[in-house]
Chains A and B, each alone.
Chain A
Amino acid sequence: MWEYAPAPESRDIANLKPSYKMFVDGKFVEGTGEPLKTVNPATEEVLAEVSTASQSDVDTAVKAARKAYDRVWSKMPGSERAKYIYRIARQIQERGRELAVLESLDNGKPIKESRDVDVPTAASHFFYHAGWADKLGYAGYGPDPQPLGVAGQVIPWNFPLLMAAWKIAPALACGNTVVLKPAETTPLTALVLADVIQQCDLPPGVVNIIPGAGDVGAALVGHEDVNKVAFTGSTDVGKVIQGRLAGTSKKLTLELGGKAANIVFDDAPLDQAVEGIVNGIFFNQGHVCCAGSRLLVQESIADELVEKLHARVSTLRVGDPLDKNTDVGAINSREQLTRIKELTESGDAEGAQRWTSSCPLPDKGFFFAPTVFSNVSQAMRIAREEIFGPVLSVLTFRTPEEAVAKANNTPYGLSAGIWTEKGSRILWMAQRMRAGVVWSNTFNRFDPTAPFGGYQESGFGREGGRTGLEAYLDV
């Protein structure tokens, strides 16, 4: 037997500090909220203490952002703003290893993904949007589209740095200033991004980063001097935010949950479909709002495909996120692990057939072995509710019409995957998918030039591409 020796990335590269402060008005300052302790989900050790914002800190940050907006950033020519944003992009690349290791420590995602996906994609969002800053007049929103003002942004824990980049880059390119709240369990890379921003000499107050829990987020989105709210996270919180903002002049975009269908037809390239299914649900431990958590497979090939899928999933290596050979890392928090366990138990109780990879799991930390449920029906909770973990539900269909009906039979509508070698069927299906992103013969591919966003309870507004600029312009 050939065992791969451990190949861990050195944690020293993360430059982990015992404590982190919030970033307001160009300076790192202690928050007056109760400090939080952020935990490495792979070991359950405390990584660092992070100061959090109180209600008055939120107010201070918004005031700083307002001042920076009024005095500097909104008046600066786009070509000058672009220089700052390009500089941030390059700094992210230069500090890529540090950011990747820190992300894996704080979030639990495998270093392979933080290194090859999160960090490079974060940099590419800044590069892409830097290019727009002096060309907004050609974006299709009139000759001289204006920014909105102060953007209050709240991001989730599944892609801590990348979501910060998705939010900050277009806001800055369009001339807005930012107050961003990272997730409670993963604040570290956003604060290193703050350091990058400070090193880039961005004018004080243009970007402010204030860690904290939901109450800080609520204070931020509810602040009367915030002009634009962008939220990525759960549908439940999204609904609360939308309710609170109703009747105000604040512009809102929401990117919420999903229960995407990955649809495999009998003429699909099967081996690559298996790869796409695995990438769709086990990438980032399934902590992906657009994860392909429902596999819809044509009945005539279901047995063959599921057999291939089991064999492939058995090769996934679960364990130390810092090991370069780890495919599936740690679940981000005990709370999330509990939720995944609860939902999978409902799958058992409702009669689905559970298959679990026999991979060994570490003794400590929050881990969940890759799991595939077969014989799932639309009525089961595991087919309807977002599990946000490495759990796939396999359903079958007989005809393309049935595939469309089942795929769309969800209150969500963020993404979908279509696997077939027939081009006309791809187009036919894509037109009928009620999902913001439709991938064909691939899954979970992200690019700053492509707009991303949802239908229905997956939210509204787009991020990325020319379309994504609209969210940060007064149009």
Chain B
Amino acid sequence: MAAPTTPPSALADAVRDESSLRRFLHGLPGVDQVGVEQRAAGLGTRSIKKASKLHAIDLAISMVDLTTLEGADTAGKVRGLAAKAKRPDPERPDVPPVAAVCVYPDMVATAAKELQGTGINVASVATAFPSGRSTLDIKLADTRFAVREGASEVDMVIDRGAFLSGRYGQVFEEIVKVKEACGDAHLKVILETGELVTYDNVRRASWLALLAGGDFIKTSTGKVQPAATLPVTHVMLQAVRDWKAQTGELRGVKPAGGIRTTKDAIKYLVAVHEVAGPEWLDPHLFRFGASTLLNDLLMQRRTQLDGHYSGPDYVTVD
């Protein structure tokens, strides 16, 4: 197997060869479905009010990867999105900018031009997104193209077919190679949990991606249902928490798809806070992959500050 960005010595054995990798992944503790869903629902009842809500809204805004991944995307659409990313609420300059704009590779140049000097990252999906059904060469070329065009973050997809048929070494190797192709760009590894189906698979895929050097593990492409769910995110947060306990390294989590309301976003932040820990409440370590979420956050922010709800006509649609 390709040498990974050497995992810490405690885990070096896990990636020695294909069978060690399999043994390691299958040796991870199982996930009880009923238990993790119960815990996620229980934490979902936290009541976040007043100052803590406002803080959560601003934090969530700063964690948004504002995303457009449509066949119909145009330069105009991407420019509009970039403008929104810089000033999410034009009338309220104190609203923080979002973390990144996420586009297809051919739109990276446009986004990069608009966002130059803003500190907002340009994220590009790559590796034959969303299905990942192509050859490794094409996936690597896709990645290199995105980085060359100016992407500072790459959202790759794993080969779910290979994963589900137990070819963990192949999945691992692909991630390692894509990571190499990324250069300095941060790598988010999309597991597409809706196709992995079981929580045990989500846990194994999370560790596989972390072992291979992924900076982030991401739930979904947004093209498959179900996309992000709270219990799946719990399992992934447990993985980065345990990764830190074993290696001292901090890795990130990004739920994507289906998170549309402030209420939902706050439930995710509560999970980050209480499952992974307060350290992860940081755009470097937690992101929301979303398009419509931002406007709901902005509306709720106004409601918190103005004391009344103003409605969707007072936020911009881009």
Contact = CB atoms under 8 A, between A and B. Distances in A.
Nearest to B50: A5
B136 to A, nearest CB: 34
Given A116-B45, A269-B29, A421-B30, A2 B281 contact: yes
Interface in A268-284: 268-272, 275-276
A5 B38 contact: no
A421 B33 CA distance: 11
B4 to A, nearest CB: 25
Given A2-B59, A2-B273, A324-B47, A272 B32 contact: yes
Interface centre among A269, A324, A325, A442 (most CB of B within 10 A): A269
Interface in B25-79: 29-32, 34-36, 38-39, 45-53, 55-56, 59
B238 interface: yes
B278 interface: yes
A275 B34 contact: no
Given A2-B59, A2-B278, A269-B29, A275 B35 contact: yes
A7 B47 contact: yes
A441 B35 contact: yes
Most buried by A among B32, B46, B56: B32
A1 interface: yes
Interface string B278-297: 10010000000000000000
B35 A442 contact: yes
Interface string A112-155: 10001000000000000000000000000000000000000000
A5 B48 contact: yes
A315 interface: yes
A317 to B, nearest CB: 9
Contacts of A276: 35
A444 to B, nearest CB: 11
B47 A275 contact: no
Contacts of A421: 30, 32
Nearest to A443: B35
A270 to B, nearest CB: 4
A442 B33 CA distance: 11
B interface, size bucket = 20 to 34
A3 interface: yes
Interface centre among A6, A112, A269, A271 (most CB of B within 10 A): A271
Interface in A1-51: 1-7
Q: Main secondary structure on chain A at its contact with chain B?
A: loop
Interface in A243-297: 267-272, 275-276
B278 A1 contact: yes
A270 B47 CA distance: 27
Interface string A307-334: 0000000010000000011000000000
B13 interface: no
B149 to A, nearest CB: 36
A94 B34 CA distance: 29
Greatest chain B CB density within 10 A among A4, A7, A267, A441 is at: A4
B32 A441 contact: yes
Contacts of B281: 2
Contacts of B184: none
Nearest to A420: B30
A2 B52 contact: yes
A4 B46 contact: yes
A65 B15 CA distance: 74
Contacts of A315: 274
B56 to A, nearest CB: 7
Given A2-B281, A275-B35, A442-B34, A270 B29 contact: yes
Nearest to A270: B29
6 contacts: A5-B48, A116-B45, A272-B32, A324-B46, A324-B47, A325-B47
Interface of B: 29-32, 34-36, 38-39, 45-53, 55-56, 59, 238, 269, 273-274, 278, 281
Given A2-B52, A269-B32, 9 more contacts: A2-B278, A2-B281, A4-B52, A5-B52, A5-B53, A271-B31, A271-B238, A275-B35, A442-B38
Cβ-closest 4 pairs across A and B: A272-B35, A7-B47, A324-B47, A269-B32
